[in-house]
Structure 1
Amino acid sequence: MCFKCCLCFVQCLHKVWRFSINKIRLYIFFNIISDPCVSPWTASYGLTDEQKEFQKVAFDFAANEMAPHMAEWDQKEVFPVETMRKAAQLGFGGIYTRPEVGGSGLSRLDTSIIFEALSTGCVSTTAYISIHNMCAWMIDTFGNDEQRESFCPDLCSMEKFASYCLTEPGSGSDAASLLTSAQRKGDHYVLNGSKAFISGGGDTDVYVVMCRTGGKGAKGISCLVVEKGTPGLSFGKKERKVGWNSQPTRAVIFEDCAVPATNRLGEEGQGFNIAMKGLNGGRINIASCSLGAAHASVLLAKDHLLVRKQFGETLANNQFLQFKLAEMATKLVASRLLVREAATALQEDRADAVSLCSMAKLFVTDECFNVCNQALQMHGGYGYLKDYAVQQFVRDIRVHQILEGTNEVMRMIISRNLLTES
């Protein structure tokens, strides 16, 4: 066979392959349009009956208590305390905290399912709830009995709210270089320094703070719980943000702030390890919030395609847009499967848990942002108006590629683990 014949054969094969892929896109599209309840792209696919029950509770809460207020919370920068306390009454204030101290005692997979559902109602509020849950879990896991009994019940009921304090003005991705110091003086630590970009800062009651009690590097870091009202604790101005406007963000400042030594979690020098273990779960949580935004955006795009007409017919009849919607749903399902696998690995304390949590955070926050952004594009000019929810999902989800460790850092963690595997 001559070169020209070979080339023709390859080109024909390529056309057949492309046609089969396009048929798959059409199949996905018509599944979404015609019968979404049984389609594998839906969030309940493959769950146990129990998981479907609390997922439904979370979806209903999102639809009834969050979504109607999402735009107002964003525009007026409202921290919806009472709504979050209602969520806590359903068990969402301490989802994976132990029941003995008021938590729900659910698994990491269960937690992911709940956060995805809640985020369809408001990403910003759910993301704060996920941070609050992480703080409650850290105290429950690394605190002693007295600390757990002192802090966890009020956190799980959301009578009190918590903030996670790791990032500093000069140490973001390089968390081990943090400078906030804590000098032991008798039965107290004296804290000096500042934390940046703290969710809930100034409005919350409990601050889980990473600080330096020893020498340079990770081994010199400890973890202290600082309560609001402690002399020497103050806050910076409220930051003006592109998204995440239903939760305040401020600098947290310590000036000769005396914290009882009994508020230290674990031993001196364990703080960095505590922080990283918290972030492994935090990365799954924030990826789950991204899933909720993408899930809601696919539904918004679908509804828009079915009603919007151009050139004499609905956009749903445009094959290009059919293919785009199919690809969006496919990315959503792939992302969801990765998050749920990472959540299971973390729950089981598997050796690949750290890598999977990093992969989930990297892949899912990138892909789900793309899904939301494509949904906005499908809305045309309407998508850029604040009357349409899709633009808020885009704004709220964008920061997920930055926080809980930037996606560039996720690539570093993944590659390092791959290169050091025996």
Structure 2
Amino acid sequence: MPHTESAPDTLRQCDSLITAAAEDLAAGRYRAVLGELLRAGVVESILDPAAGVGNPARECCIALERIARHSVELAEAVQVQALAANTIRRHGSDRLWSALGPGLRTGEILAVNCMSEPNAGSDLSALELTAVRDGDRYRLTGYKNWAAHAAVANELIVYARTSDAGIGGITAFLVPADTPGVRVSAPFEQLRGLAIPVSDIVFDDASVPAERILGRRDRGALVSDILVTQGRLGLAACAIGLGDAAYERALDFAGSTVRFGQVLIEHQSVGFTLADMATGLTAARQLLYHACAGFDRDPLTSTLVCAQAKLFATDTAARITADAVELLGASAYLPGEPVEHSMRQAKLLQTLQGTNRIQRLTIANRLRTDAER
């Protein structure tokens, strides 16, 4: 049930590229694969406002959904690059974007957001990595973890504490990965099939020019808010693509398998399960597009609906992939069968960019604020 009628022409022309890229990503050609897709323009709508795309967030999510139908790992990799590049475009100086933008758009330069720390995940106010002013530079000292594709990145977007004012004392820096004092660990071993390299990063008195601040000093929370909000849209799109592929696999299996003298789909309970899958996907997609429209109007006022879109889409994907495994039975665990891997990936999507418990907390806090007005 893929939804493609409004997708960019570049996507209609590159399904074979996406399929080949997914295979190459699994083989470890990470930078090359990202470059191929980025040069095909799959996320150009959000990186080039001059292109005149009326709904850039929606067009980007359509691209991510389409990629995720083939490989959610590949879609996540594209999402990581798109988020970092768009953060630099939005908040960096014109000089920075002029120097880095072309490479970020083609994949020659990879960038990554470095936010999480051992004692600070979704709670930005708990960040401990410090940035101390030293003339026209800052010296960064501390530790970041769970940095996706940091091991192959050229630029690191680092959130550091520049004052003791809690969340109001955070500043975002763009740090070259080869800066002396920056050490990126080897990628972690992860569950089978998770192809995105994830690393820890140590900053040991790493010196960064003040001109590489993104946004303003002590206003890094604003940079983070926009990034996280946009990231939730991308994860919702990945979840819909993942769920759609699992639904199609379950539908095909149910329509071609005979049990108790009937095609499986003719059993009412199976038909009802497939109906719920299809309905959930349609609802998730429409909520995502509604959230994208809100983000394109004003990212700062779309926090609620973007959290709702991420929550609903990833929960829907988790339910659909689990139901697909149950419908396929033991055959779901045979080599080459993708649905059990999809079920584990759906659980990961519920965790990224703030777990779904954090999404519910975000939504509940906004509802409480609205009720107090």
TM-score, scaled relative to structure 2: 0.93
Of 233, 238, 244, the match for 1:289: 238
Aligned equivalents of 1:96, 1:53: Cα separation in 2: 13
Query: Paired residue for 2:332?
Result: 383
Pairs within 5 Å for 1:99-114: 107-114=56-63
Contact 1:195–1:253 (8 Å) recurs in 2: yes
Q: Unaligned regions of 5+ residues in structure 2, if any?
A: none
Out of 153, 158, 174, the residue aligned to residue 204 of structure 1 is 153
- Return closer, same or farther for 1:351/1:245 CA change in 2, 3 Å cut-off: closer
CA offset at residue 322 of structure 1?
A: 1.2
CA shift at 1:161, angstroms? 1.0
Residue 172 and residue 59 in structure 1: after superposition, are their counterparts in 2 closer, same or farther (change >3 A)?
A: farther
Structure 1 residue corresponding to 2:352, chosen from 403, 408, 411: 403
For the residues of structure 1 that align with 2:55 and 2:78, how far apart are their CA atoms?
15
* Partner amino acid, structure 1, of 2:188: E
**Aligned: 1:81 with 2:31:** yes
State the partner residue of 2:128: 179
Aligned position for 1:239:
188
Aligned: 1:265 with 2:214: yes
When Rg is computed on C-alpha atoms for both structures, the one with the higher figure is 1
SS of 1:210 mapped into structure 2: strand
Q: Give the match for residue 156 of structure 1.
A: 105
Aligned residue pair count: 371
Percent identical residues: 26
Structure 1: distance between partners of 2:160 and 2:212: 13
* Contact 1:239 1:250 (8 Å CA) reproduced: yes
| Shift of residue 347, structure 1, vs aligned partner | 0.6
Alpha-carbon spacing, 1:322–1:384, altered in 2? closer, same or farther (3 Å): same
Within 5 A, what are the aligned runs for 1:10-89?
42-44=2-4, 51-54=6-9, 57-58=10-11, 61=14, 63-67=15-19, 70=22, 73-74=25-26, 78-89=28-39
User: Using the alignment, how far apart are the partners of 2:293 and 2:194 within structure 1?
Assistant: 31
Quickly say closer, same or farther: Cα 1:243–1:137, change in 2 above 3 A: farther
Partners of 1:243 and 1:279 lie apart in 2 by: 27
Report the Cα distance in structure 2 between the residues aligned to 1:364 and 1:176, rounded to whole angstroms.
28
Matched, 1:327 2:279: no
Structure 1: tracts of 5 or more residues without a match: 1-40
Structure 2 partner of 1:215: 164
- The CA distance in 2 between the partners of 1:79 and 1:282, in whole Å, is 24
Change (3 A) 1:386 1:192: farther
Specify whether residues 87 and 72 from structure 1 end up closer, same or farther in structure 2 by C-alpha distance, changes over 3 A only. Answer: closer
Structure 1 residue 105: Cα displacement: 8.5
- Displacement after TM superposition at 1:113 (Å): 1.1
Counterpart in the other structure of 2:69: 120
Please say if residues 188 and 259 of structure 1, whose CA atoms lie closer than 8 Å, have aligned partners that are also in contact. Answer: yes
Instruction: Give yes or no for contact 2:114–2:156 (8 Å, CA) kept in 1.
Output: yes
Q: CA deviation at 1:69?
A: 6.3
Matched, 1:338 2:291: no
Greater mean deviation of Cα atoms: 80-89 or 213-222: 80-89
Query: Take 1:218 and 1:53, find their aligned partners in 2: how far apart are those partners?
Result: 39
d(CA) in 1 for partners of 2:299 and 2:225? 16
Q: Given the alignment of the two structures, is residue 131 of structure 1 paired with residue 59 of structure 2, yes or no?
A: no
- Corresponding residue for 2:263? 314
Could you tell me how far 1:389 is from its partner in structure 2? 1.5
1:99–1:114: structure 2 CA closer, same or farther, 3 Å change rule? same
- Establish whether residue 147 from structure 1 lines up as the match of residue 107 from structure 2: no
Amino acid at match of 2:37: A
Q: RMSD in angstroms over aligned alpha carbons?
A: 2.2
For 2:251 and 2:109, locate their aligned partners in 1 and report how far apart those are by CA, in whole Å: 39
**In 1: Cα distance, 2:312 partner to 2:194 partner:** 24
Name the CA distance, whole Å, in 2 between partners of 1:168 and 1:263.
Answer: 21
Contact 1:163-1:208 within 8 A present in 2 as well: yes
